[in-house]
Structures are given as structure tokens and as C-alpha cells.
Amino acid sequence: MISEFLTHFQSVGSELYSRGMVSVHGGNLSVRDQDSVVITRSGSRLGYLSESDLIRTGLEKDDENTRLASTELQVHRAIYRKGLFKAIVHSHPIHATALSFVRHVIHSEDEGGKLFIPEVPVVGFGLEPQPGGAAEEIAEALKTHAVVMVHRHGSFARGMTLEEAYVITELLEISCRILCLVKNLKIQQM
Ligand SMILES: [Zn+2]
């Protein structure tokens, strides 16, 4: 039953949108359910999800629903194939994305970030950002890191629940916002 997942998708989608971590049609969410993936529909609005926005398709195989799924489906599938994770949040947090332009690794300096996400790899350097791109590189990095950034694009966070992957995403954006503010303050002091 897809409806059992709906409240989780709605609450996480609404948090991401209300905090500016996705634009109106940006980002995507999924959960793994045995040999299938339940993922947001291509072009859906994460802040206003309804049951028809959740698409169930194969973890390995395409079916009649595959064409309706988010264009990032291939990345979600690759992540589930490499790890025992149950949920993925893909978003475009502004400060984290800004840092992904200029850093190969993001090291948090605030206490929460240092504790939970001390090192966030940035993957996809040298590639044009495109939906479904860098799937294997993202999946490989998520085996050992809770969240990764895709160069000039956005974040992929994984967890055992959507809420867990969301919390990691929010921690990342808070850390990156602090990093940007501190860098700006240092420049002003010079
Ligand atoms: Zn994206």
C-alpha cells in the first residue's frame, strides 16, 4: 500500500520546501520497499504531495510506472543496490550547493555538523549536472557517508527513514550556512 508512506513523504516534502531547500518542482524522495522503490513523481511539488505523486516501480527492473518516476530514479536505484538503506532525500540546499562549486570535500565546523557529518564528499566534478548522472559515484560515496553533494547541483542523503535522511540534510545546510557566514565575516575583518 502506497498510502502507508504518504504522511512521511508529505511531512518531509513540506519541511524541505518551507525551509527553501527545494524549489517548487525541485528535489525528490524515495523509500525502498522490498524489491520495489516508492519515489516521487517526475515534476511533483514536494511541498504539496498527494497519493498520486508517489510512484512504485522496480528496484531492478523497469515497468509501466517507471516513466512516471523522478528523473533521478537511476541514482536512487544505485544507492539502494549498494547499501541496506531504506530512504533517500535529494534536495538543493542553497549554501551547501554554493560550497559544492568550490570544494571537493565539505568539513563542518559547527558542533552538530562535526559530530554527525564531519566530512561530506562532493562528487561529479568534471561532469555536467544532469538528472540521473553520477549514479555510481554517488552510491559509492553513500556507503561510508550519510550525505554527499553533487558538484553544482544538490545533496543526496540516505537513512533508514525519510525523517532521518531529512535531518541529515538539514544539518548539512546549517553547517554550510555557518561556513559561508564565517568566511564572509573573516573577509570583512580584513
Ligand atoms: Zn536535483
Rounded distance from Cα 79 to ligand 1 centre (Å): 15
Residues 7-64 have pLDDT tens digits of 999 999 999 999 999 999 999 999 999 999 999 999 999 999 999 999 999 999 999 9
Angle between helices 162-189 and 3-18 (to 10 degrees): 10
- Looking at residue 3, its pLDDT comes to 85
Q: pLDDT-based confidence at 126, cuts 50/70/90?
A: confident
Rounded distance from Cα 113 to ligand 1 centre (Å): 22
Rounded distance from Cα 93 to ligand 1 centre (Å): 10
Task: Please say if the pLDDT value at position 129 is more than 80.
Answer: no
Rounded distance from Cα 95 to ligand 1 centre (Å): 15
- Locus of grid cell 539502494: 80
Rounded distance from Cα 91 to ligand 1 centre (Å): 6
Find all residues with CB under 8 Å of 45, minimum gap 6, and list them.
17, 24, 25, 53
Rounded distance from Cα 72 to ligand 1 centre (Å): 8
Q: pLDDT-based confidence at 190, cuts 50/70/90?
A: low
Residues 132-142 have pLDDT tens digits of 889 999 999 99
- Looking at residue 131, its pLDDT comes to 78
Residues 135-174 have pLDDT tens digits of 999 999 999 999 999 999 999 999 999 999 999 999 999 9
Residues 50-108 have pLDDT tens digits of 999 999 999 999 999 999 999 999 999 999 999 899 999 999 999 999 999 999 999 99
- Locus of grid cell 552510491: 139
Q: Does the reported pTM lie above 0.85?
A: yes
Number of other residues whose CB lies within 10 A of the CB of residue 59 = 14
Cell numbers representing residue 65 in the block: 510506472
| 3.30.450.40, 3.40.50.620, 3.40.50.2300, 3.40.225.10: CATH of 3-189 | 3.40.225.10
Interior/surface letters 66-87, b for 16+ CB within 10 angstroms, e for the rest: eebbbebbbbbbbbbebeebbb
| Cβ–Cβ < 8 Å for 158, 150 | no
Rounded distance from Cα 18 to ligand 1 centre (Å): 17
Q: Which of 74, 82, 79 is nearest to 57 (CA)?
A: 74
Cα–Cα–Cα angle for 73, 79, 81, nearest 5°? 100
9: helix, strand or coil: helix
Q: Kindly state the average pLDDT of the residues 104-125.
A: 95
Find all residues with CB under 8 Å of 152, minimum gap 6, and list them.
97, 100, 101, 124, 129
Rounded distance from Cα 187 to ligand 1 centre (Å): 31
- Looking at residue 15, its pLDDT comes to 98
Rounded distance from Cα 90 to ligand 1 centre (Å): 6
- Burial of 19: CB neighbours in 10 Å, binned 0-12, 13-18, 19+: middle
- Looking at residue 125, its pLDDT comes to 86
Angle between helices 135-142 and 73-82 (to 10 degrees): 40
